Structure formats: C-alpha cells, structure tokens
Amino acid sequence: MTNESGAEALDPRWLTAYHEAGHAVIALAVGRPLQKVTIAANRVRLGLCHLQKGRSRASKDWLEDEILILLAGMAAESQVSGKYNLGGAEQDLKMARRLAIMRAGNAQQAERLERRLLTKTEYLLAEEGHWNAVQHIAKDLLERETISGRAALHWFNQAVAQADK
C-alpha cells in the first residue's frame, strides 16, 4: 500500500511508527480518543498508543472495538513490511486473544473471531482516508517521536476529509 523504499521498511523505528499509527487510526475510527502516540522505546515496548480514559463516544460493541484496535498495529505494519510481525505484536495478540475468548467462550471459536476481526481491521485500514492518516501519523512520529492525541486526531480528520472529496 505504500511506496517506501526497502531500506525504510527494514528500519525498526519506521515499522514501529506504522504499527502505532495503525492502533491510533483504528482507535479514532471507532471513536476512542487518544492521549498520545509514541515510538519512544523503553524496556517493555518499542512504542505506545495511549488511549484516553473515560471519554469516548458510545460504542455498539466495546469488546470488538478493543480487539480491532489491538490488531491494527500488526495489520498496519504488515502493509508496509509484507508480513505479520507476530513477535512484535505479541502483547497485543495476547490481549486480543483474552478478549476473544471472553466473547467466544472457547479457543477454537476465539481463533475464528480473531481471524474475522483481523480481516475487518485490514479492510478498515485499506480505506483511503484511514491509510492516508496512518501514513501521516507515522511520518509525524518519525519526525517528533511522540505526538499528542490531538495531533493524531488532526491528521485523521484531515486525511478522511481529503478522501471524501
């Protein structure tokens, strides 16, 4: 989906920027406001998309929204690298699996639910406005390392409005 060079696709910061931008865009798409998005690494993680607590629009399905957000990092990263980074998304995938089991009741049904929601996540990210927002947020993260939720929302709204023209 992107025409970046192969060298950029191998840069871990670049992949992390797309990963975190994916989380951010899907969070905003389902109405979850963001506190900040960062690719500043620490001992635990390479980046973070921090959602705001307590303030979000009413959701039709909170659990599904959470799983979509969790899967969005890996899905966005795969669009630029050509493969799923299961190791890099390990924490996200563990949490998505816990939520899927809560919904589905057993591991086999949870796995089917996860596959369906990964497909839905990829579909949402493929929308022109959403993918453009991912690209803008990732670029901003590479320039600044951390951006506010307000900045991410600006990029999201601008990209979606441009795609709607």
In a domain, 156, yes or no: yes
The tokens 């950029």 sit on which residue?
8
Reading the block at residue 139, the tokens are 């670029």
In a domain, 59, yes or no: yes
In a domain, 104, yes or no: yes
Residue-wise pLDDT for 65-91, tens only, equals: 999 999 999 999 999 999 999 998 999
At 165 the pLDDT is 79
Q: List, by residue number, the catalytic residues.
A: 20
Q: Can you tell me the distance from the alpha carbon of 128 to that of 1, in angstroms, rounded to the nearest whole number? A: 10
Question: What region, left, alpha or beta, does residue 141 occupy, with left being phi > 0 and alpha being psi -120 to 50 degrees?
Answer: alpha
Residue 29 domain boundaries: 6-164
| In contact, 129 and 163? CB cutoff 8 Å | yes
In a domain, 1, yes or no: no
Q: Residue 59: pLDDT above 80?
A: no
In a domain, 42, yes or no: yes
| In contact, 118 and 140? CB cutoff 8 Å | no
3-state secondary structure of 38: strand
Q: Residue 4: pLDDT above 60?
A: no
Q: How many domains, the chain?
A: 1
pTM exceeds cut of 0.85? yes
Q: Residue 1: pLDDT above 50?
A: no
Of the candidates 89, 84, 76, 63, the one whose C-alpha atom is nearest the C-alpha of residue 131 is 76
Q: Can you tell me the distance from the alpha carbon of 94 to that of 6, in angstroms, rounded to the nearest whole number? A: 29
Residue-wise pLDDT for 104-162, tens only, equals: 989 999 999 999 999 999 999 999 999 999 999 999 999 999 999 999 999 999 999 99
CATH value at residue 150: 1.20.58.760
Residue-wise pLDDT for 19-42, tens only, equals: 999 999 999 999 999 999 999 878
Of the candidates 12, 81, 88, 95, the one whose C-alpha atom is nearest the C-alpha of residue 45 is 88
